[in-house]
Each structure stands twice: as structure tokens, then as C-alpha cells.
Chains A and B, each alone.
Chain A
Amino acid sequence: MKQTLMGNDAIAWGIIHSDIDMVSGYPGTPSSEILGNVNKLKHQMNLDLYAEWGTNEKVGFEVAYAGAVAGRRAAATMKQVGLNVASDALMSAAYIGNLGAFVLIVADDPGFHSSQTEQDSRVFAKFAKIPVLDPATPQDAYDFVKIAADISETFQTPTMLRPVMRVCHARQIVDIDEETNFKPGKGEFKREIGRWAAVPRAGRIIQGYEQIERINALKEYNWENLIKPEFDKCKGGKLLILTSGTGDGFARETLEDIGIEADVVKFKMPYPLPENQIREQFKNYEKVLVVEEPMPCIEEQILTEKVHGKLDGTMHVIDEMQKVYIQNALIKIGVYTGADLYPVVPFKEEIAARPPNLCPGCPHRDIYYAITKVFRKKKSIYPSDIGCYTLAINQGAIDTVLCMGASVSMASGFSIADPDKYVVATIGDSTFFHGGIPPLVNAVYQKHKFMLVVLDNSVVAMTGRQLPPQRENKEIDIMKIAEGCGADVYEHIYSNDIQHSLDFFKDMKKVYDEADGPIVVVVREFCVLDKEVVDDHIPLEFAEVVPEDCTACDQCTTIYKCPPMAYNADGKVEIDPFLCIGCGACLSVVCPTDAFVQDTSRGIIREENK
């Protein structure tokens, strides 16, 4: 059956057509839609399976992995930095293995489109000694879920599927199974303490040897089933290109563009590689070029003098793949001598950058505005965390961002290192659950003095508005959790009256001055993209600026920074009517000369075509 699918939809179909019936994980771009799509299909077809978010990637991994230990077919989904969080579990699981199938789906982000790092999860698989499959297209992604599930079950090892952003968010007509005959498994845990309880040393060293045997057997499997058929199609000659994942598509198109014939071999499973059999093939070629992203995973396994790639500087070493890099590599190794087919001629004048910004009407903007007004920048440090609110970096309201939950632990550290400053940390609700609680316990335990502001909009806004724990189950209460940790906790209910937030934080400053440990503030907010609640919060009070009253003082465009605000040709601020959503927040307080007034001519605008 042919369907136009995005890679993440294709993976969801692959999961269902592999009879995987337990899925858990944590959202993160570019992986987020996978679990959501599984859930959608579950409801559409009324399937009996579990697909729910864990509070973080380690939790998600472990929930799904236990399913595989009990003999079911399971999958965990996350992005590459999420794997860092789950890596503790992965390293042990790689020794212990599983009975059913355990497919670990990790989406990579070469080119840093929405991530702090560009790490290569294939290298992580190699580090953990587990097999990894690397799809090149949505079609591959669908097919490879099935291969991964079968390998995992046959070899009793966690098996990784590593799509990159250009697979997850690529769109293609995908051929999937005609029918869905979903057969959920039944788990039955079989007690085997020596295997499932990872204590040192006797049991572990045996498992360590078994793991090495497994990898050797997988190399054989890889050669016989996946690689040899590819080499059998090869002709030999001047150039052999070795690829995996998206590198394959880029390489084939480049060769076509520049009109060169060469053999291209795509490794479906780039680790573990049967290095000897592969090197044996090199004698049929003058040169070997490895095209892969983002790190030299294949190259390091099969390196010989003939091999060119990232390690000898032939290929680019950072950022996303482009055909021009392959063309230039072919020039460097003397295979291509023609013209540059991909000349970059940008528009002659510089074009203003468009930094992502908090949405018009987003409550975070007001809270950051109030924080920086009350806790002056010169006298404060603002650690923050991962989520939409990180975009307040444009407002100058964030000093540090490291990884999930680090705002809290870094606030502890700053309070020790630079005790004369106010330390005001911000974190979102989902991030608080993910990684913010243990460092809060630590801060209370050791009496670190700072203020932690939990921006609770009750949605995982950045990754597509997944529902966080407290929204699904009201019993979970961030205030009670923070109180249970032993912190002093205060609540602030957001309204579009900025003065209200300013007054609240002024009071909090007094509390801070008297405190001898961490203070937690829970701000009850909403997200303007959250269709279920937004109508209750946006009063449709649109703004305009009276030009005569605007003194071009920059206050609104540098400190408040709602996207519709910009200078016009006359040097006055103007509100872009297409961007203003009518939250009314800027109408008071923001402009020192009261140039902002309500634009009563505006009707209601609803956004449909998104």
C-alpha cells in the first residue's frame, strides 16, 4: 500500500507492522512525532498496545526495556542528546540483552537544527557494542524497523535505529504492508537472577564475553545478509564509495550530477562491520571514499591507506551533508576535474537574520520581563534550561543553558561561586519532571540559596505540544513536589497584566533576601499554541502604536521584544498586524511614553493553514 509519509510516520507504521506493542520514550526534535503517531494509529485501528511518554529518556528506555526482558517486542524513542540521559541504562542493557525485541530509536540532528550538539548515535552504538541500522529515506526507515526488531530478537540484543533529521522529517511515497495484522505479544518474566540483576563481577565478565561473541556473529550476519549482496552488484574500477544513511542519497545524486560512474555500497547496518571482508573488496578499486554523517563511524572501522573521508580531511567534519562537499572531495582525490556545480552566490546585500523568538502572546515573555526588571541584570545570574523558554535568550534574560535540568544544579553552583548576586533560574514544567527534581533535593539538602521559577504551561511546547504528567493526572502537583523536596514554594497565576507580575517578583525579592535556602516559584501559564486552552486566555486586545508618542527609546524592541514590534521607515515602532495575536500584554507598562494603545479596528484572526 502506497502512502505519502513523513519519516516519523513511516517509523510508526514500521513499529506496528513489527508487532512492537510497548513504546516509551521522551519527546525531542526530530524524534517527537514517532510515539505520537503510534498512538494515533493505535486509536484509529483500535490496537492493543502501550505507547506513552516517560518522564525522561532513561525512564522511557527502562519501561520499554523491561517489556523486552519479559519477552515482548518493545521500542524506546528519543533524540540523540536524550540518549545521553538513557546511556546509563543502555550500557548495562547491552551486556544483559533481552528476550523479546528491543528497538532503540534515536534520532540524530546533523547540522544542529534543534540541538545543542551534533553527536553521532552510531558511534554510541559502537561504544555500547550493539548493532545499529541507519535508514536513508522514510522507506528505509519503515523497512529497517522490521529488520531491527528481528535482529534484536534473534541475537537477544538491544538494536538501534538511527534516523537523522532528514529522514525523520523527510516526506516520501512509502510502500507499506497492505494489511495490518497486529499481534501483540504476552509478556512472561522468567526469573534468572544471574542474568537480569547486573551485579559485579562473575556474571558480568561472562556476559562481556558473550557480548563480543554476539558482535562477531552480527558481523557475519551483516556480511552475508546485508553487505555481500551489495558488493555482488559492483563492477570494480576507479572509485568505491561507502555510505550509510543519508550519505547514500547525497553520494548517488552527486555522481549523477557530475556524470561519474562509481560503485556505491550502502551499509544498512554501519556497526558492526565485517572489516576484513570489506577490506578484501578494496583491491578492485583505486580509491575508496566514505560518505557518512556526522562522524567517521564507518571510516574508523575499515580504515586502510586507500580510504578517504573525514579522518584525512577529504570530507567535511562538521555540519550537515551537502552535495558540494562530496563534489569537493572528488576533486581533492583527483576523480573529478569539471566545473563547480553548486556555486553559492548569496544575494548581494546582507539580509537581516531572523532569530527564533517567543511566540507573540507567550506568557514566558512577561515573566522574563518582570524578572529582569526586578532582579537587575548587573546584580543577577540567570541560569536556564531546555525548552521554548530558552528563546528568552533574545530578551537577554538567560545566561546559561547546558542540558535538561541543569538550570537547578547550576543555580546551586553559581550561588556558591558568586554569592553576592541574585541567582534566578528558570525551568519548564516538563523539564522540571525530566531532570529538575534531583538537583532541587540537593539544593535543599545543602541549603543553596537561589530562586527557581518553574514556568508551568502544562504542555511540552517546544516539541509539538505533548501532554506532560500533571496534565494527564492532576494528582501530580509541581508545588507539592517542590514542597516535598523541602523548598519554600510560592504560586503566581499569570495574567496579561504585566504590573501584576512585576509586583509579584518585587515581593519575591524580599522573600529571597530573607531566605536561607532555595525558593521555588511556580508560575501558572498557558501556551498560545495550545488550542484547548488558548481562547480562555487571549482577550483579543490588539496593539497599535501612536506614532507621535513613540520616542524610539528601544524599550519594546530590546527588552520586551514581541515579534510584531519593529521600526518602520519613519523611525517609529509599528505593530505588524499579521503577527499580533491580541494578547494585550504590551498595552500597559512596556512603553514609557504610553504610545501603545488598543487597535479597536481589528477583528478575530484564526490561523488554519499550518
Chain B
Amino acid sequence: MRYQVVIAGFGGQGSVFLVKILALCAGNKDVACLGTENHGMSQRGGAVSCTIKLGNYTNPVIDANQADLLIGLEKNEALRNVQFLKPTGTLAVNAESDFPSSDINATVFQVDAFDKAKKKELPIQGLNVYMLGVVVSKCEDFPFTEEDVKQALRDFNPKVAEQNIEVLEKAIADTKA
């Protein structure tokens, strides 16, 4: 298997957390993986993009036109990183309905998770997991199942796993509806 993922957001949104979860998913299925994350500015509101390459790769960075999946935790950070997606790739983005999906040369799944958080349908710190749920439910070539992700969430931190799993399930239910 070979699958390349870029996760884009800004400091405090938890992009790094998603990389850790995907790495755990890979570890549990004995799939090789190589990922990278930006530290330093990541807590302070600056742009944060992380990558994870699943399968037999030798460097953790993703070049333009290479990624299979881009998870955009925020609209502008998604747009800033679209160049990494290949035309057959998928973008899962948290953005309002005016997101310029038609200008993007890839399959786009757009949800307004901020709005859901404002309406208190999900906790704001669960935004990242919510977007992962969108990916699990919508993205056909995504290599991990709902159960794989849940297992990784439990492995990462059993204390908050239930909360995260709830958010994941909500995302899946919302997008299937």
C-alpha cells in the first residue's frame, strides 16, 4: 500500500494529534509509515502542516502534486496546501458553504464543523477528530476503517478515548445522513 496524507491547520487545532493517530493506525496494522510535523510555532497560531506517508517510503516530506488526501482543519490552510494534492486525490475541509470547491482539482468533501461547534453539537477541541470521521465515512480509498481509528484513539489515551470516539461517530453519522 502507498498513501500520502497532508494535514493542514493552524496552531492549537491539533493537526499533530491526527498524525499521531494515523501513525498508531499504521502501527496496529503493521503498515510502514513515515510522518513529520512542524514544532516550534505550532502552539502560537502559526500555520501548521503535517504529513504522513503510509507504505514503503524513504522520506517524510510530501512534494507538490503527490498527496492522496488533504485534511484541511481550516479553509485558508486547506487552500494554502491544495498544491500538494494530486488530481485524483481527496480534500476533506472544514469550511463555510462559500468554500470554492469547484476551483479545486480534486474530490472535495466540505463540512462546517466550526458552525456545529458554535451550536455546541461538538466540543471545539474535537474538531480534528470530527474531520477524521468525515474522512473515514466519505473517502473511499482511505486505508483505515472506523474500527482502526477507534482502536488508535483508545491506544493514544484511554482517558479521553470515549469523548473522541463520540465525536468520530457523530461525524460519521452526520456525513452519512
Contacts and interface: CB of A to CB of B under 8 A. Distances in A.
Interface of A: 2-4, 29-30, 113-114, 136-137, 166, 169-173, 246, 248-250, 252-253, 320-324, 341-349, 351-352, 354-359, 388, 391, 462-464, 529, 563, 577-579, 605-610
Nearest to B38: A113
16 contacts: A4-B33, A114-B40, A169-B37, A171-B34, A250-B61, A323-B59, A345-B83, A345-B105, A346-B82, A354-B77, A356-B44, A356-B46, A388-B44, A462-B40, A578-B114, A609-B17
Nearest to A168: B39
Given A4-B23, A173-B26, A252-B58, A342 B63 contact: yes
B127 to A, nearest CB: 8
A606 B19 contact: no
A185 B24 CA distance: 36
Interface of B: 10-12, 14, 16-17, 19-20, 23-24, 26-27, 32-41, 43-47, 52, 57-61, 63-66, 76-77, 79-80, 82-83, 103-105, 114, 117-118, 124-126, 128-129, 160, 163-164
Contacts of B10: 354
A171 B129 contact: no
A171 B33 contact: yes
Contacts of A354: 10, 45-47, 76-77
B1 to A, nearest CB: 14
Given A4-B26, A114-B39, A610 B14 contact: yes
Given A563-B45, A608-B160, A609-B164, A29 B39 contact: yes
Contacts of A529: 43
Contacts of B82: 346-347
5 tightest A-B CB contacts, nearest first = A249-B59, A114-B40, A356-B46, A249-B58, A171-B35
B58 A173 contact: no
A320 B160 CA distance: 37
Contact of B36 (A169, A388, A464): A169
Contacts of A2: 27
Nearest to B20: A171
B41 to A, nearest CB: 4
A388 B57 CA distance: 35
Contact of A605 (B44, B124, B160): B124
Given A343-B65, A354-B10, A354-B47, A610 B59 contact: no
B23 A253 contact: no
B39 A609 contact: no
A359 B44 contact: yes
A171 B63 CA distance: 18
A417 to B, nearest CB: 32
A76 B12 CA distance: 31
Given A113-B38, A114-B39, A343-B65, A137 B58 contact: yes
B144 to A, nearest CB: 14
Contact of A609 (B14, B32, B58): B14
Contact of A173 (B33, B83, B124, B128): B33
B83 A171 contact: no
Nearest to B105: A345
B44 A166 contact: no
Given A2-B27, A348-B103, A609 B37 contact: no
A409 to B, nearest CB: 25
A579 B117 CA distance: 13
Contacts of A172: 32-35, 60
Contact of B34 (A137, A344, A348): A137
A607 B163 CA distance: 13
A3 B12 CA distance: 26
Nearest to A326: B63
Contacts of A579: 12, 45
B58 A248 contact: yes
Contacts of B80: 346-347, 351
A216 B20 CA distance: 44
A58 to B, nearest CB: 23
B34 A607 contact: no
Nearest to A607: B125
B36 A170 contact: yes
A609 B125 contact: yes
A352 B36 contact: no
A253 B59 contact: yes
A113 B26 contact: no
Contacts of A359: 43-45
A578 B12 CA distance: 10
A170 B35 contact: yes
B79 A609 contact: no
A391 B125 CA distance: 25
Given A170-B34, A609-B17, A29 B40 contact: yes
Given A4-B26, A171-B52, A342-B66, A347 B103 contact: yes
Among B10, B37, B59, the most chain A Cβ lie within 10 Å of the Cβ of B59
A164 to B, nearest CB: 11
Contact of B27 (A4, A323, A391, A607): A4
Given A324-B63, A342-B64, A608-B125, A171 B41 contact: no
Contacts of A320: 61
Nearest to A325: B63
A133 to B, nearest CB: 18
Contacts of B114: 578
Most chain A C-beta atoms within 10 Å of own C-beta, residue among B10, B19, B45, B83 = B45
Nearest to A109: B40
A418 to B, nearest CB: 32
Nearest to A578: B124
Contacts of A30: 39-40
Given A114-B40, A609-B126, A166 B59 contact: yes
B75 to A, nearest CB: 9
Contacts of B83: 344-347
A348 B17 CA distance: 30
Nearest to B47: A354
Contact of B61 (A3, A322, A358, A391): A322
A605 B12 CA distance: 13
A250 B36 CA distance: 14
Contacts of A352: 76
A173 B76 contact: no
Given A248-B58, A609-B160, 19 more contacts: A2-B27, A29-B40, A136-B59, A170-B35, A171-B33, A171-B52, A172-B60, A173-B27, A246-B59, A249-B34, A323-B61, A347-B83, A356-B44, A356-B46, A359-B43, A388-B44, A464-B39, A578-B114, A610-B12
Nearest to B10: A354
B24 A4 contact: yes
A247 to B, nearest CB: 9
